[in-house]
Amino acid sequence: MAVTSSNVASAAVRGVQWTTAATVANALMQIGYTAVMARLLDPAAFGLVAMSGVVLRFGSYFAEMGLGHALVQRPEISKTDIRAAFTASIGLSIVVAGLAWLLAPLSVFFLKNEAVVPIVRMQALGFVLVGIGTTAASLLRREMRFDSIAKIDVLAYILGYGGVGITMAWAGMGVWSLILASLAQQLFATLMSYALVRHSIQLIFSREPYAKLLGYGSKVSVISFLEFVNGNLDTLLIGRLLGSTLLGIYNRAYMLLYLPMYFLTNSLARVAFPAFSKIQEDVPRVRALYLKSSTLVATVILPMCAGVAVAAPEMVQVLLGPKWMDSVPILRMLCFAIPLSMTTMFAGIVADARANLRQKVILNLEFMVLLTSLFWLLRDYGLLGIAAAIGTGEVVRTFLYMRITHNDIGIRYRQLLAMYLPGLLNAAAVGVGIMAVSLGLRSVGSPALLTLVAQIAMGGLALGVVVLRWPSSELHPHLQQGLNRLRKVAGLPTPLHASLARYAAFLERRQPLFPSFEPLTSSLTP
């Protein structure tokens, strides 16, 4: 059953619960998968896949032309619109896959590595697999069936990467195990999505439905392409100037931090975009949902990145192995840039949902010029220079998105900056706690695994203390609701029940931290 604007809030809450569970599971599996594959393959294999990925992502934005995005964003759609989206997705994906196959040799000019050509050609099959499943996946998102989406994501990852990928790597297939794992995951996701939706697969060639969908979708594709260029300048530059081995080192450091963060924020974005689209004309509700989403993400991501920055040596040694230790300073530098990238994601989602696309195009062009200039200025500093350029660029892009959000939905700059305060407090507590444990254990020569376990435990303890003792205005009502449900559980031991009652009284007395935020929960109530 499709979700109407009157019950968006409850559907979004359920969606966040399902997607959070799925993303935590995927993040844990990604860490395990990375740890296993890093020991079965050499850095050059990951570098080759990173190079081919840049080439293929270039085509992915034209293979769909934003049709799936348009299906989700439009207030109303018809069966004709669905047929048109399916027809166009298949046609475009076949064309782009064919072009990728034919033009693969040209990638050597940019990447200076002939081994990329067969990899690009094999991975081009993914365009067709994704094109077939785009319409079904978009309809699931439009209907906010996030429980089904979460189950598909987890199962497809297990079967594709855990089953096909690791098995092939163990069998000695080298870089091809990474390629086949990706294709298998896409195939499983496509089959499962269509099995749930079963939309019409009858092709349609009348002009009218395409005009409506492509008018919005083509602009989304242009923006996505610009974001792709901005997000891959580092890979292109390192691969061309420094070679596949250093690119592999940079890529593993980047992915070790980026993927868990991306899984978390991207799954929230998958909930947020259809939710914002449902209420796109109700500016007060859009404003409230934006502030709430961005603050909660910053509250989680900033302390996680602070912990990673301190524990980087142990994380790299345990998860990737001793041969990857050169990635430690890169990982620490990226701990500053990636949180900003993740939090600005929601500003972009609001612009998409409200069809404020012209400003996004301008912003991405400005960012492209800035990032290219920074790369040129810092090129002599190697990998650290690239990471520093990314960090500086993300700071500027954050303020550019603040400008768009302020002008579009009227949020004051003070509120936009205050979104980061709870996360910064949590980050300080986590960073100091892990630093104390790290200094003590490193001084006595503790094994890396034992030190990492202690760092994780201290980070969780520090984060728990600061969140429970000084909850922000965003977390305060959620803590109260969770506490009330917990106190109603039958059979709780008397001492525990008494402790919960005391904490409930504490929350009632204590004003939320950073009260400059406006109350948001009332604005989200349908």
**Which amino acid appears at position 13 of this protein?**
V
Average per-residue pLDDT in the chain? 81
pLDDT at 518: 45
What integer is the mean pLDDT of 1-30?
A: 70
The DSSP line for 33-94 is HHHHHHHHS-HHHHHHHHHHHHHHHHHHHHHHTTHHHHHHHSS---HHHHHHHHHHHHHHHH
Distances (CA, A) of 307 to 263, 379, 435, 448: 18, 28, 8, 15
pLDDT at 241: 65
Distances (CA, A) of 292 to 48, 304, 366, 415, 476: 40, 19, 28, 11, 12
pLDDT at 523: 38
Distance CA 428, CA 75 (A): 43
Distance CA 524, CA 12 (A): 10
CB atoms within 10 A of CB 99: 15
Q: Is the model's pLDDT at 188 over the cut of 90? A: yes
In 3-state terms, what secondary structure has residue 3? coil
Distance CA 404, CA 352 (A): 12
In 3-state terms, what secondary structure has residue 472? strand
pLDDT at 331: 86
- At 404-429, the pLDDT tens digits run 999 989 888 988 998 888 889 899 99
Q: Is the model's pLDDT at 119 over the cut of 90? A: no
pLDDT at 82: 87
pLDDT at 101: 86
What integer is the mean pLDDT of 36-50?
A: 80
Q: Is the model's pLDDT at 524 over the cut of 50? A: no
Instruction: Give per-residue burial for 230-250: e unless 16+ CB within 10 Å, then b.
Output: bebbbbbbbbeebebebbbbb
**Helix boundaries (H) for 143-243:** 146-157, 166-170, 175-197, 207-241
Q: Token pair 């969606």 is at which residue?
A: 15
Distance CA 11, CA 524 (A): 12
The end-to-end CA distance of the chain, in Å, is 18
pLDDT at 437: 92
Name the pLDDT band for 307 (thresholds 50, 70, 90).
very high
- At 424-482, the pLDDT tens digits run 989 999 999 999 999 999 999 899 899 999 999 999 999 888 888 877 776 777 777 77
Distance CA 404, CA 478 (A): 29
What is the percent of the chain where pLDDT is above 90?
Answer: 14
Name the pLDDT band for 525 (thresholds 50, 70, 90).
very low
**Minimum mean pLDDT among 297-306, 324-333, 376-385, 516-525: which range?**
516-525
Q: How many CA atoms lie within 13 A of 302 on its CB side?
A: 19
What integer is the mean pLDDT of 384-412?
A: 87
**Helix boundaries (H) for 320-381:** 328-343, 345-353, 357-377
Q: Is the model's pLDDT at 79 over the cut of 70? A: yes
Please check whether residue 479 is in contact with residue 512, taking contact to mean a CB–CB distance below 8 angstroms.
Answer: no
What integer is the mean pLDDT of 337-349?
A: 84
CB atoms within 10 A of CB 272: 26
Distance of CA 26 to the CA centre of its chain: 12
Which comes out higher in pLDDT, residue 452 or 240? 452
Q: Is the model's pLDDT at 37 over the cut of 60? A: yes
pLDDT at 526: 34
Q: Is the model's pLDDT at 221 over the cut of 80? A: no
What integer is the mean pLDDT of 328-356?
A: 84
Which two tokens mark 366? 């400005």
Which two tokens mark 351? 């612009």
pLDDT at 519: 41
Distance CA 303, CA 460 (A): 10
Nearest to 250 by CA among 240, 262, 264: 240
Nearest to 113 by CA among 49, 195, 194: 49
Specify the DSSP class assigned to residue 165: I
Please check whether residue 445 is in contact with residue 320, taking contact to mean a CB–CB distance below 8 angstroms.
Answer: no
Read off the pTM: 0.69
Distance of CA 35 to the CA centre of its chain: 20
Which comes out higher in pLDDT, residue 225 or 402? 402
- At 120-177, the pLDDT tens digits run 888 888 888 888 988 998 899 888 888 898 899 899 999 998 889 889 888 888 888 8
Distance CA 499, CA 483 (A): 11
pLDDT at 194: 92
Distance CA 47, CA 518 (A): 47
